Amino acid sequence: MRLLFLLFLTLLTGCATFGIRDESLELQITPMPIYRGKPAIAKINAPLEADKVVGVVETFGSPELIFRKNENAGIWYFKGTIPFSPWVNPGTYTVRVAYYKGAAKPHYTEMKVELK
């Protein structure tokens, strides 16, 4: 069973395309560290003309974090709360946020966050 799971995970990892790492993207997450059960907000300076901005916490089963556009502030943002769950453990995680525009490869940035 473990071998089957590792094979499946390897296939999924091999299929992932990350796009282009973009050093001009600035991702801010507050508050830091993040606490389970308390709201946090992520902001990124992705182009306002992007089709969509999506984030993910690089851990098994992470949902997509769909960012919203705030044209007045010139940013995209996501506000949410990490629930208390036996599957979500405190630790250090990588958050990756990418923007998509047309048929071009997505541009992304990532950062480490501490979950308490």
Domain spans, the chain: 19-115
Which of 22, 20, 19, 39 minimizes the C-alpha distance to 31? 39
- Residue 108's pLDDT band (cuts 50, 70, 90): very high
Beta bridge partners of 81: 39
pLDDT-above-70 percentage for the chain: 84
Contact 32, 116 (CB under 8 A): no
Q: What's the confidence (pLDDT) of residue 82? A: 84
pTM as predicted = 0.80
Better pLDDT: 71 or 84: 71
Name the DSSP letter for residue 63.
P
Residue located via tokens 């990532």: 110
Residue 52 to residue 100: CA distance in whole angstroms: 5
Fold designation for 19-115: Immunoglobulin-like (2.60.40)
In tens, the pLDDT along 19-50 reads: 899 999 999 999 999 998 899 999 999 999 99
